[in-house]
Amino acid sequence: MTASVTPERGRSLRTPALLLLLALLAAALSGGQLSVAQAEEDPAVPGSKAECRDGGWQDLGFINQGRCIAAVASEGRVDPQGPPADPSPTTHDLTLLATTEVHAHLRAWDYYNDERDETLGLAKTYTLIEQARAEHDNTLLFDTGDILQGAFIGEYVALIDPLEEDEVHPAIAAMNLMDYDAATLGNHEFDFGLDFLDQVFGDAMFPAVSANVFRVDQTGEITDEPLVEPYVVIDTEVDGQPLSVGVIGITPPGIMTWHSDSLEGLVDTIPATEALERYLPELEDEGVDLTVLSAHAGKRLELGPEAEINPEGENWLWFAAEQFQDELDAITFGHEQSVFPGDSKYDDVEGLDNERGLIHGVPAVMAGAFGNHLGKVHLELSHVGGEWSVVDGWAENLPVTADTAEHPAIVDAVDEHHQATVEYVRSPVGVTEVPISHYFSRVMDSKGLELINEAQIWWGEDRLAGTQYEDLPVLAAAAPFRAGRVGPQEFTHIPVGEVSVRDLADLYIYPNQIRIVQLDGQQVIDWLEKSAENFNQIDPEATQDQDLVDGIEPFDFDVIDGIDYQIDVTQPLGERVVDATFEGQPLTSDMEFAVVTNDYRAGGGGGFPHLDGTHTIVSSDETNRAVLVRYVTENSPITEPADHNWSILPVDVAGTVYFLSHPDAVDHIGDEGVSGVEFLEVDEEGWGVYEYLFE
């Protein structure tokens, strides 16, 4: 069945005159051998009465349609002027409900700030789902991935107090109650390893789907055995009429980069379009009435045809929707933590309709993140002669608000694990005498990143002691995770005073595992050049305002401690790192270093040069965050501000160079180690706007 948001094409009808001619021709070809009696006595004869009744003539070839008429017209069973008309079509509505990027936000609770957050949570989303089910007679519910990791409860049940063998993961318990019809595996489903994934989804009362993740054989070669079902066929009813819906899932191929250590030798991936080319024909052969793509995808959709497939296999959705628009009836997706339709960045993009929610004419929805929206795809269906077709379709997103109540069934289902998580993150581990934040971490050295790197160097030196690498100088790299990625309020800030697990989990939000890579001095500089893409190139002569910070993800801006360096933002990419030294000596390719980082970066995440897994010399199951907690516990109090081992090279500029941060960051200008910035205003989107002074 093809997706269409325009009236369906009419069936090609054969004229009565042509059918009568066929009848005469059929009679001549039969040589007078086919009689009405024979037709009645042998229903297996092509063109028999049995095949002519109830519209069966339509499934015959031209000649046998003629025989059909010749055989029974004399008895008045078939009008020689043509077959009986099809019954009148009926119209029906089907609503696809979708969640995505929930990231273990099961309750309306922010574990990092230890307070309620009325804008999110699957318990609230379920209230919207129940309302939608009451409003629409025919619904299906899908999730497009990243359900297990994110809010600290996800890490608590995976790593801190691991689930017992017979214990159901709270996210799965919630989804079972919500009666999901299918869920796609996202990349973060693999954060805690395959054994954990198998254990968790073994309790799911709904199918997990992914068409592009396969097991490998003993030689490491990819097999044809999918990790989970590539697709599922859901047999349901719409207004009492049977309807089959095929749902095919796609997982980001980048899992083999981001989780190479834990997945290599167990599974491998194929590109999304290759998976669709393989399995969409199978769904067609199974005779499904509708086909839904449930994809953990959507990166760079706003670039339309200008998007490029990156080494991690992302950014493919626009192209796949174009290629398979005739095979797909709807798309539910998510990986970008945005809303489609709705986000203004999708306005005026070729192939997108940001009002009706269409990608190349296919109704599609991306429902934000953290349970903050419910996506709805509305399909108007036509049913005639046992066949279904899509007459029209559109999509929308319903936001969770402060007025949306948490559903009590979900609250009860996850309460035990929720309360245990809250108790854990509140436990104190140390004291800080200096504020620790990411307010200014994208424009100057900050205590937030320095503390992470101090902990990583501390761990690395201990780990390498007594090994062949013990004489290597140890460096460390870290990025600001919560530095405005999803809005002006999303910044880490730990005030002077007691430091809890929650604080450190806010500083290092991901459950990455710690790694050490061996690089030479020039390779370290190459790493920094990639990181310097954080900045736009500044024209010192320009009098107009210039934005200092580029739009790259904050988690791809690495700061390296253990060396000193400056970044010249007036220079083009690849030529910005200057005065990079170790103990006063310029970095060269003759120097060798051990650099502590995480599994994501060491395995190739972010596309940094030389970081593809081949330079890793130490792998550990210990998380970077666990190292951070242990370091603060053993080295409290924290007394020193950032040492400013890196900075932006001062330059005279003719105009204003600005950057965006939390509006409250203004209160911390003048804190020890924070200078060279000036508050300008709070813009209409709530961002604090600050001038960078190049001091």
pLDDT tens-digit series, residues 359-415:
999 999 999 999 999 999 999 999 998 899 999 999 999 999 999 999 999 999 999
Reply yes or no on whether the pLDDT at 58 is more than 80.
no
Residues of the chain with CATH 3.90.780.10: 429-692
Burial class (CB within 10 angstroms; exposed 0-12, middle 13-18, buried 19+) of 35: exposed
Give the C-alpha separation, 81 to 73, whole Å: 10
Predicted local distance difference test score (pLDDT) of residue 258:
84
- Which residue did the predictor score with more confidence, 77 or 341? 341
- At 9, is the pLDDT very low, low, confident or very high (cuts 50, 70, 90)? very low
pLDDT tens-digit series, residues 570-594:
999 999 999 999 999 999 999 999 9
Q: Interhelix angle for 624-635 vs 447-464, to 10°?
A: 90
pLDDT tens-digit series, residues 598-651:
999 999 999 999 999 899 999 887 889 989 999 999 999 999 999 999 999 999
- At 507, is the pLDDT very low, low, confident or very high (cuts 50, 70, 90)? very high
Task: Express as a percent the part of the chain with pLDDT over 70.
Answer: 87
Predicted local distance difference test score (pLDDT) of residue 613:
87
Predicted local distance difference test score (pLDDT) of residue 13:
29
- At 113, is the pLDDT very low, low, confident or very high (cuts 50, 70, 90)? confident
Reply yes or no on whether the pLDDT at 514 is more than 90.
yes
Burial class (CB within 10 angstroms; exposed 0-12, middle 13-18, buried 19+) of 681: exposed
- At 5, is the pLDDT very low, low, confident or very high (cuts 50, 70, 90)? very low
- At 67, is the pLDDT very low, low, confident or very high (cuts 50, 70, 90)? very low
Predicted local distance difference test score (pLDDT) of residue 257:
84
Task: Express as a percent the part of the chain with pLDDT over 90.
Answer: 79
Mean pLDDT score of the chain: 89
Predicted local distance difference test score (pLDDT) of residue 233:
98
Q: Give the DSSP per-residue string, 372-439.
A: -EEEEEEEEEEEETTEEEEEEEEEEEEEP-TTSPPPHHHHHHHHHHHHHHHHHHT-EEEEESS-EE-T
Give the C-alpha separation, 451 to 504, whole Å: 10
| CA 664 vs CA 404, 490, 668, 686: distances in Å | 28, 11, 8, 11
Domain 90-421 matching CATH 3.30.1370.60: the answer reads no
Reply yes or no on whether the pLDDT at 504 is more than 90.
yes
Nearest to 558 by CA among 620, 657, 669, 646: 646
Nearest to 66 by CA among 27, 15, 33, 12: 27
Domain 429-692 matching CATH 3.90.780.10: the answer reads yes
**pTM of the shown model:** 0.73
Predicted local distance difference test score (pLDDT) of residue 673:
77
- Which residue did the predictor score with more confidence, 280 or 75? 280
Answer for the pair 421, 107: CB distance below 8 angstroms, yes or no.
Answer: no
Predicted local distance difference test score (pLDDT) of residue 35:
39
Give the C-alpha separation, 493 to 506, whole Å: 8
Answer for the pair 569, 679: CB distance below 8 angstroms, yes or no.
Answer: no
Residues of the chain with CATH 3.60.21.10: 90-421
- At 23, is the pLDDT very low, low, confident or very high (cuts 50, 70, 90)? very low
**Residue 651 corresponds to which tokens in the numbers above?**
């330059």
- At 215, is the pLDDT very low, low, confident or very high (cuts 50, 70, 90)? very high
Give the position of tokens 């539910």. 332
Predicted local distance difference test score (pLDDT) of residue 28:
44
Reply yes or no on whether the pLDDT at 66 is more than 70.
no
Predicted local distance difference test score (pLDDT) of residue 294:
98
Cross-strand bridge partners of residue 245: 234, 290
Reply yes or no on whether the pLDDT at 567 is more than 80.
yes
Q: Which helix (H) or strand (E) holds 154?
A: helix 152-155
